[in-house]
């Protein structure tokens, strides 16, 4: 199986775009010629005052990378955590192919960052040893100091200049986990103090001297274009400077955001549109096509044994259709980017999950070379995959170019954000299971029909890996099944698509884990026992190029079930449901939900989650990811994007409900200790929340829900 | 041109702008106080929450004209140094994920605890009914409000 991870990787450079071992010369600070900074690699700089600046090659979007990644450096270097600065890497020769997605931030940087820290530590020790004329092995590091024989101490800052002149060690030894004093401990978020005082600068907060603000009037139907317009009334709005045609629509340039919005509103009244080829697209027609595709030809993602034969021979065949709607990312911070044109090139400030791609695309749109487009990565008010897209940053570059002169911030409003998202597509799932005369599963067929996210990411091209990417979560079903087929029937549709927190794994695991629950009930078997039996004593199982250790999955399922009190007597109207998955074969998670259904009202009381994501770099951050991931998953029980006349019906949080505080269940997280390398935690909790809750609904009310979102009639 | 006197974080600021301009944009674009966030402009996400005469209000739903002559406090003015009990509780509970919705949450919490020193779960749910945190920090918000209970003067 080729995973989405492969498509997020950029050829050549390792995931983090690392340049380890590259010896960067010591640079005297301007105005402090005597003392130099020590920069043994692209990730860290020791300043003469002892402060250490750590450069993070991943974008912070709430998943805690600006805490977790510096921890790895700080641990190996024995830094004083109160004396670090954290800066975001800029795309360029030192950082190539930066991408923050696929829950890979920690796993892909874990080794390089620790090595970077260890390299610096060894060089600082060597510098101190030379000064003291002792062996480096007689020195150790402690909270920003090198400590020598007899308790002599020298600060890292005082050693920076000397260390910078030393050769870079090739393979410095990494610490043993038993010696960790930062990694594996609970560390609060590095940006916490800036956030609670309002000082944290998100993309939308970027202010450059002379900055103007722009809103773009785009066709409500993605891909449409303005035909005629009259800018008189827009220009009459106080503060509006110009109305300009740009590739995505009409840009209103103003002194402030409100004037840009008001000018745009006035402009909209006079604009006529060529709505383009997507103008008749609607959800109902798409669903009919998807339903037809459930029984037509498809691309096979995985096959074991002869499913058709096994189904034909089955004593009983269970069949069900599952439906998942289009979803929006709905980050609370709408899309935005500042671009400033310069004499030779341009500079950009953007909250991007893929800064190099943003750089390349924007540069290309302006006829520049990538290196002529300097990109500064801002904090992100929610990413969830939306900001892997470069549509908004490229558009801002086009607007700034059209406007000429100083910096321009393009601001999207809430409606723009919903109408021009890069959506998670709708899918239908045809699930079939054959049972033999003993009641055991003899065949499993999972057909997925819908638009392909990967095609959008590949700019309309069909990748040979399309079926396996779109079937992620379905093809890596962890259960031993004698005959199995998972396939994907693409149904093309106009809306632009993108990666969404949990990606295709969310709908695929929803269908898979709920249908398995149906099978368990048809067999008269306990859903937990059925899963444990189907995992049996399997060890490492291969799914194409990926593999998963089923023992680790079994363990988290057992822990979650035990902690949630699976099998205990529940109050009337309550039910427990469970689901589990080995996410990309790296993070193992299981969730048990407790719900009640009373008078047609669903309440989700509690979700118990057990995870094994290898070594837990920062347990505090990990728990936050579990809570957030579950909230994101639960929101998708209630939200959907639907299409009428080519445009979204939903335009804001009022008609695209996301979970609110009162709806949030209690979350209990259990981390299964592991010494494996750390893996990601941003997405794995998301896909399990839906099936765990819906299986609990069945246990509570005997009602099988196969179609999302939940509606008023779901419990009738 | 209409000119207004706006009192923000204890300072009187003359503001020359259209009367119907939402307070949010005056704060962010005219006065450069970007701690108050724009999330929807539709009154349904709470990111833009500030205090107007001590009450939590959505600054995207209040015009400059309505705000003029009243005391506006933004997250930047809640304390000089992050020492407001709610800010301290927020750090202690490690609430923030992306952090974008948090200034609004903090302003709502501060106003709630001022008028109700020991809110029940129901009170907390009601106070935050119009707030969205897409990152799902709700369990920690609840804990942080309870931690700060009784200490907002
Ligand atoms: S921006 Fe004011 S409520 Fe959302
Ligand atoms: S912390 Fe990200 S939206 Fe609340």
Q: Three-state SS for B60?
A: helix
Query: Domain limits at A64?
Result: 4-196
| Closest ligand to Cα A379 | 2
Q: What is the mean pLDDT of chain A?
A: 92
Same structural domain, B103 and B46: no
Pocket test for ligand 2, best of A59, A60, A62, A631 (most atoms within 8 A of CB): A62
**Rama region for B99: left / alpha / beta (φ>0; ψ in -120 to 50; rest):** left
Is the distance from the beta carbon of residue B95 to the nearest atom of ligand 2 less than 6 Å?
no
| CATH of residue B52 | 3.10.20.30
- Pick the ligand that lies closest to the CA of residue B37: 1
A387/chain B closest Cα distance in angstroms: 13
What stretches of A270-314 adopt beta strand conformation (E)?
Answer: 272-274, 299-304
Percent of chain A with pLDDT over 90: 81
pLDDT greater than 50 at residue A263: yes
Atom of ligand 2 nearest to the CA of B101: 4
pLDDT, residue A705, reads 97
Q: Which residue of A has its CA nearest to B93?
A: A188
Q: Is any atom of ligand 2 closer than 6 Å to the C-beta of B133?
A: yes
Residue at a domain's end among A146, A178, A196: A196
What is the pLDDT averaged over residues A200-227? 97
Q: Which run of H or of E encompasses A416?
A: helix A414-419
CATH number at residue A175: 3.30.365.10
**Cα separation of the two ends of chain A:** 40
Helical spans, DSSP H, in A667-709: 686-701
Spatial distance between the Cα atoms of B104 and A182, rounded to a whole number of angstroms = 32
Q: Domain limits at B44? A: 3-78
Nearest residue to B132 via CA among A629, A649, A655, A331: A331
Q: pLDDT per residue over A407-465, tens digit each?
A: 999 999 999 999 999 999 999 999 999 999 999 999 999 999 999 999 999 999 999 99
State residue A60's pLDDT score: 83
Q: Which of residues 29-68 of B touch A (CB under 8 A)?
A: 29-30, 32-42, 44-45, 47
Tell me: do A208 and A320 sit in the same domain: no
Give nearest CA residue, ligand 1 atom 3.
B43
pLDDT digits (tens, 9 = 90+) for A501-558: 999 999 999 999 999 999 999 999 999 999 999 999 999 999 877 899 999 999 999 9
Tell me if B29 and A213 make a contact (CB, 8 A cut-off): yes
Tell whether A223 and A313 lie within a shared domain: no
Minimum-distance ligand 2 atom for the alpha carbon of A382 = 2
Q: Going residue by residue through chain B, which has 153 residues, state the pLDDT in tens, using 9 for 90 and above.
A: 679 999 999 999 999 999 999 999 999 999 999 999 999 999 999 999 999 999 999 999 999 999 999 999 999 999 999 999 999 999 999 999 999 999 999 999 999 999 999 999 999 999 999 999 999 999 999 999 999 999 988
Same domain, A464 and A514: yes
Q: Is residue A710 part of a domain?
A: no
Nearest chain A residue (CA) to B24: A258
Nearby residues of A178 by Cβ (< 8 Å), 6 or more positions away: none
pTM higher than the cut 0.90? yes
- What is the predicted ipTM? 0.98
Q: Per-residue confidence at A3, pLDDT binned at 50, 70, 90? A: low
C-beta atoms of A334 and B38 within 8 A: yes
The string of DSSP letters for A328-366 reads ----SSPPEEEEEEETTEEEEEE--S-HHHHHHHHHHHH
Please choose, from the candidates A557, A532, A426, A516, the residue with its C-alpha nearest in 3D space to the C-alpha of residue A698. Answer: A516
The predicted model gives A627-634 an average pLDDT of 97
Query: Are both A161 and A128 inside the same structural domain?
Result: yes
My answer on whether B49 and B107 are in the same domain is: no
Give the domain-ending residue among B78, B111, B129: B78
Residues A134-192: pLDDT tens digits?
999 999 999 999 999 999 999 999 999 999 999 999 889 999 999 999 998 999 999 99
Position A706 in a domain:
no
Chain B (85-114) residues lying within 8 Å, Cβ to Cβ, of chain A: 87, 90-91, 94-103, 106
| Residue B153 in domain | no
DSSP A464-505: TTHHHHHTTTTTT--S--SSEEEEEEE---SS-B---TTTTH
By the 8 A CB rule, do B97 and B41 touch? no
Residue A2: per-residue pLDDT: 56
Closest-lying ligand to the alpha carbon of A257?
A: 1
Domain count, chain B: 2
pLDDT tens, position by position, A667-716: 999 999 998 888 888 899 999 999 999 999 999 999 999 999 998 677 76
Q: Work out the average pLDDT over A610-633.
A: 94
The predicted pLDDT at position A544 comes to 74
Percent share of chain A, pLDDT over 70 = 95
Q: Output the six-digit token pair for A245.
A: 């045609």
């Amino acid at each position: 199986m080729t995973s989405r991870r492969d498509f997020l990787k950029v050829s050549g450079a390792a995931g983090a775009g690392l340049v380890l071992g590259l010896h960067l010369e010591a640079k005297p600070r301007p105005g402090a010629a005597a003392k130099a900074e020590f920069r043994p690699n692209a990730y860290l700089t020791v300043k003469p005052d002892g402060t250490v600046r750590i450069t993070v090659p991943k974008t912070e979007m709430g998943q805690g990378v600006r805490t977790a990644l510096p921890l790895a450096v700080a641990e190996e270097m024995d830094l004083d955590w109160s004396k670090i600065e954290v800066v975001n890497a800029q795309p360029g020769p030192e950082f190539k192919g930066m991408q923050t997605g696929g829950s890979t931030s920690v796993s892909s940087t874990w080794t390089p960052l620790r090595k970077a820290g260890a390299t610096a530590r060894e060089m600082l020790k060597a510098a101190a040893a030379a000064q003291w004329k002792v062996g480096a092995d007689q020195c150790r590091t402690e909270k920003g100091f090198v400590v020598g024989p007899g308790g002599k101490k020298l600060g890292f800052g005082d050693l920076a200049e000397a260390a910078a002149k030393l050769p870079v060690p090739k393979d410095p030894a990494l610490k043993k986990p038993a010696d960790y004093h930062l990694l594996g401990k609970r560390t609060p978020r590095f940006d916490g103090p800036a956030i609670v005082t309002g000082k944290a600068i998100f993309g939308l907060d970027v202010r450059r001297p002379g900055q103007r603000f722009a809103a773009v009037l785009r066709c409500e139907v993605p891909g449409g274009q303005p035909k005629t317009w009259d800018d008189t009334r827009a220009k009459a709005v106080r503060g509006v400077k110009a109305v300009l045609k740009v590739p995505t629509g009409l840009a209103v340039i103003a002194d402030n955001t409100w004037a840009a919005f008001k000018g745009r509103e006035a402009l909209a009244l006079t604009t006529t549109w060529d709505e383009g080829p997507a103008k008749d697209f609607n959800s109902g027609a798409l669903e009919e096509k998807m339903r037809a595709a459930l029984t037509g030809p498809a691309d096979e993602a995985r096959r074991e044994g002869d499913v058709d034969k096994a189904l034909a021979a089955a004593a009983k065949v269970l069949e069900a259709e599952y439906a998942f709607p289009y979803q929006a990312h709905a980050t609370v911070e709408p899309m935005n980017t500042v671009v400033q044109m310069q004499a030779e090139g341009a500079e950009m400030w953007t909250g991007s999950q893929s800064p190099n791609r943003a750089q390349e695309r924007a540069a290309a749109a302006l006829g520049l070379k990538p290196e002529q487009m300097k990109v500064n990565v801002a904090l992100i008010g929610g990413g969830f995959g939306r900001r892997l897209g470069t549509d908004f940053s490229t558009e801002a570059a086009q607007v700034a170019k059209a406007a000429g002169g100083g910096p321009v911030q393009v601001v999207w409003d809430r409606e723009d954000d919903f109408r021009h998202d890069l959506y998670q597509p709708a899918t239908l799932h045809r699930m079939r299971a054959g049972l033999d005369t003993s009641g055991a599963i003899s065949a499993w067929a999972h057909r997925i029909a819908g638009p392909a996210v990967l095609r959008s990411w590949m700019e309309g091209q069909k990748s040979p890996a399309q079926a396996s990417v779109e079937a992620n979560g379905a093809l890596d079903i962890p259960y031993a099944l004698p005959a199995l087929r998972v396939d994907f029937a693409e149904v093309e549709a106009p809306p632009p698509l993108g990666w969404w927190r949990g990606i295709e794994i969310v709908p695929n695991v929803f269908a898979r884990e709920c249908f398995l629950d149906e099978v368990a009930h048809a067999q008269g078997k306990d859903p937990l026992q059925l899963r444990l039996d189907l995992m049996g004593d399997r060890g490492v199982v291969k799914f194409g190029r990926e593999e998963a250790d089923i023992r680790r999955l079994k363990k988290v399922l057992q822990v979650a079930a035990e902690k949630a009190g699976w099998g205990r007597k529940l109050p009337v109207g309550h039910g427990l449901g469970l689901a589990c998955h080995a996410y990309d074969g790296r993070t193992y998670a299981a969730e048990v939900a407790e719900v009640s259904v009373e008078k047609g009202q669903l309440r989700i009381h509690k979700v118990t989650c057990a995870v094994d994501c290898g070594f837990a770099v920062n347990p505090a951050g990990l728990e936050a990811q579990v809570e957030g991931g579950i909230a994101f998953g639960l929101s998708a029980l209630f939200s959907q994007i639907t299409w009428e006349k080519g445009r979204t019906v939903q335009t804001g949080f009022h008609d695209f409900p996301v979970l609110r505080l009162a709806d949030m269940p209690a979350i209990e997280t259990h981390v299964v200790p592991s010494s494996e390398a750390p893996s990601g935690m941003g997405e794995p909790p998301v896909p399990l929340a839906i099936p765990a809750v819906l299986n609990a609904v069945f246990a509570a009310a005997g009602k099988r829900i196969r179609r999302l979102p939940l509606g008023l009639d779901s419990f009738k | 041109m209409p000119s207004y006197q706006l009192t923000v974080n204890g300072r009187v600021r003359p503001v020359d702008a259209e009367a119907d301009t939402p307070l949010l944009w005056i704060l962010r674009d005219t006065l450069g106080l970007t701690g108050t966030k724009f999330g929807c402009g539709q009154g349904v996400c709470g990111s833009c929450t500030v205090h107007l005469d001590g009450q939590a209000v959505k600054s995207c739903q209040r015009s400059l004209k309505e705000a003029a002559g009243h005391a506006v406090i933004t997250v930047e003015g809640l304390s000089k140094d992050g020492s407001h009990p709610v800010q301290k509780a927020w750090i202690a509970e490690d609430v923030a994920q992306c952090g974008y919705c948090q200034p609004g949450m903090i302003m709502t919490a501060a106003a709630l605890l001022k008028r109700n020193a020991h809110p029940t779960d129901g009170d907390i749910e009601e106070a935050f009914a119009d707030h969205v945190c897409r990152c799902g920090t709700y369990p920690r918000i609840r804990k942080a409000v309870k931690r700060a209970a009784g200490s907002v003067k």
